[in-house]
Amino acid sequence: MNGSRPSSGASGPFGFGFMGVKWPRIFFLIALVQAIICLAFECYVFWKFQTSLTDQDTQETTDANTDSPRRIIPTFLTLFIFGFLYELVVVWDALRAKNTIQVIGVCIANLALMVYTAIQVEQIEEALGQLKDNGSLKNPQDNMWADVKPYLVAIPCILGFCTIAMAFTAWKLYQVFAWDILKTIGADYRMKKRFLHYQIYIALLKFDFFFFLGFTVQFLVIVTLKTDTEFGLTIAAVPITIAILLLAAWFTRIENKIGMSIVIVCYLGGLTYFLYKLVRIYQPHTEQQYRAVRKSLTAFAVITIILIICTIANCIICMRNFGAGLKNHLRKPSRDVEKNPDLNSINLQDVKPQIASRMTID
């Protein structure tokens, strides 16, 4: 799901040519350092948590009151490992392709992760209280919460600081990437606007994948009834969703209206699925099962619902742009795009009407 072709900044081993430029390098290093520090803190909390638990009786696995709190730390750790690694891939892809829209999306996603880590502080404190009441801690007198709280509080603080740093760097990247556009002669405003919508749509697909899979990971880890039909359907939804998102990007690129119409129907099905999950989290007969991660599941479900709605809207806009010539630009060979970077580095500055005069910047 590549929103734009790589430009000259993508040269270098494994597409890391952007590391030779100041602001792209700074943006990537912010994301990398953030991931290393936060994952180190999460791993310490996980180790402290697991070593403080008593051995679990096989009969207890059917008791949601006992088993659900035990799963909360593994759930968070699994999600953070996936989240930070996926964010690094998205950052690499955005910088490689000089995609300003995707860079802005990373900043917003980082802000969402900050909110999520703030939610986990209260949820872990609540889970530790339940485990203490259930006699699941080896030493109930040991104040484990006092040991892990500083690390849990530090994580959203680090994310908040890094989000601010990312936003500032994104503004600098906006200016750096816009410089390529200034070298273009006779840019077509309408065509660039169509490509802007295309880039937004592709970026939304990438973040749809993250939040859908993030929700699914939490659901699969926290649910105790592995034989439940809903559990099997949730697992089956993962490869189906990946296929839908890949097809959505491909149908948009080749401008296939029938395929796009089918994709929209799938989006509506996904919207219904998440609304159903959101209701199920708070239903009386299933509420206890989701209690340990109810707030985080709710946050992910709401964000995913909003993203799906935005994706449907942009999908319709892209369909309306079919037949206007964008497909030919997307199919240009890479060397032709290098000669004419007009459609390679679209960003917010490009959506302004073009000046009548022409100029060349060497």
Tell me which of 206 and 75 has the higher pLDDT.
206
Coil, strand, or helix at residue 34?
Answer: helix
pTM of the predicted model as reported, rounded to 2 decimal places? 0.76
Q: Are 352 and 178 in contact (CB under 8 A)?
A: no
Look at residue 332 and tell me if it is in a domain: yes
Residue 125 CA to residue 96 CA, distance in Å, equals: 41
Look at residue 357 and tell me if it is in a domain: no
Tell me which of 9 and 108 has the higher pLDDT.
108
How many domains, the chain?
1
Tell me which of 269 and 5 has the higher pLDDT.
269
Q: Are 110 and 162 in contact (CB under 8 A)?
A: yes
Q: Which two tokens stand for residue 330?
A: 């997307």
Range of the domain at 265: 18-351
Look at residue 1 and tell me if it is in a domain: no
Q: Is the pLDDT of residue 53 over 70?
A: yes
pLDDT for 2: 55
Look at residue 275 and tell me if it is in a domain: yes
Side chain identity at 60, as an amino acid letter?
A: E
What is the average per-residue pLDDT within 269-295?
A: 81
Mean pLDDT of the chain: 78
Tell me the Cα Rg of the chain.
Answer: 23
pLDDT for 347: 42
How many separate helices (H) and strands (E) can be counted in the chain? 12, 0
Look at residue 5 and tell me if it is in a domain: no
> Which distant-in-sequence residues (6+ apart) come within 8 Å of 278 by Cβ?
298, 301, 302, 305
Residue pLDDT, tens place only, 197-219: 888 899 999 999 988 888 887 77
Q: Is the pLDDT of residue 314 over 90?
A: yes
Look at residue 250 and tell me if it is in a domain: yes
Q: How many CA atoms lie within 13 A of 240 on its CB side?
A: 12
Residue pLDDT, tens place only, 95-121: 887 888 889 999 999 998 898 888 888
Could you count the other beta carbons within 10 Å of the beta carbon of residue 135? 10
What is the average per-residue pLDDT within 266-279?
A: 90
Residue 331 CA to residue 214 CA, distance in Å, equals: 33
What are residue 256's phi and psi, to 5 degrees? -100, 105
Highest mean pLDDT among 116-120, 158-162, 295-299, 330-334: 158-162
Q: Is the pLDDT of residue 270 over 80?
A: yes
What are residue 137's phi and psi, to 5 degrees? -100, 140
What is the average per-residue pLDDT within 333-354?
A: 44
Alpha helices in 255-286 (DSSP H): 257-281
pLDDT for 338: 46
Q: Which residues on neighbouring strands pair with residue 137, listed in sequence order?
A: 53
Q: Which two tokens stand for residue 219?
A: 């659901």
Coil, strand, or helix at residue 162?
Answer: helix
Q: Which of 13-17, 168-172, 251-255, 316-320 has the lowest mean pLDDT?
A: 13-17
Q: Are 86 and 78 in contact (CB under 8 A)?
A: no
Confidence at 5, pLDDT banded by 50, 70, 90: very low
**Percent of the chain having pLDDT more than 70?**
75
Q: Counting beta carbons within 10 angstroms of the beta carbon of residue 127, is it exposed (0 to 12), middle (13 to 18) or buried (19 or more)? A: buried
Look at residue 362 and tell me if it is in a domain: no
What is the average per-residue pLDDT within 118-131?
A: 82
Coil, strand, or helix at residue 249?
Answer: helix
Q: Which two tokens stand for residue 318?
A: 């892209």
What is the average per-residue pLDDT within 174-202?
A: 70
Q: Which residues on neighbouring strands pair with residue 25, listed in sequence order?
A: none
Look at residue 6 and tell me if it is in a domain: no
Torsion-angle region of 4 (φ positive above 0: left; ψ -120 to 50: alpha; else: beta): beta
Q: Which DSSP letter does residue 355 get?
A: P
Coil, strand, or helix at residue 155?
Answer: helix
Q: Is the pLDDT of residue 262 over 90?
A: yes
Q: Is the pLDDT of residue 59 over 50?
A: no
What is the average per-residue pLDDT within 349-356?
A: 43
DSSP structure string for 303-326: HHHHHHHHHHHHHHHHHHTTTSSH
> Which distant-in-sequence residues (6+ apart) come within 8 Å of 172 by Cβ?
23, 26
Print burial letters for 65-74: b (CB count within 10 Å at least 16), e (below 16).
ebbbbbbbbe
Could you count the other beta carbons within 10 Å of the beta carbon of residue 88? 16
Tell me which of 24 and 131 has the higher pLDDT.
24
pLDDT for 180: 60
pLDDT for 125: 84
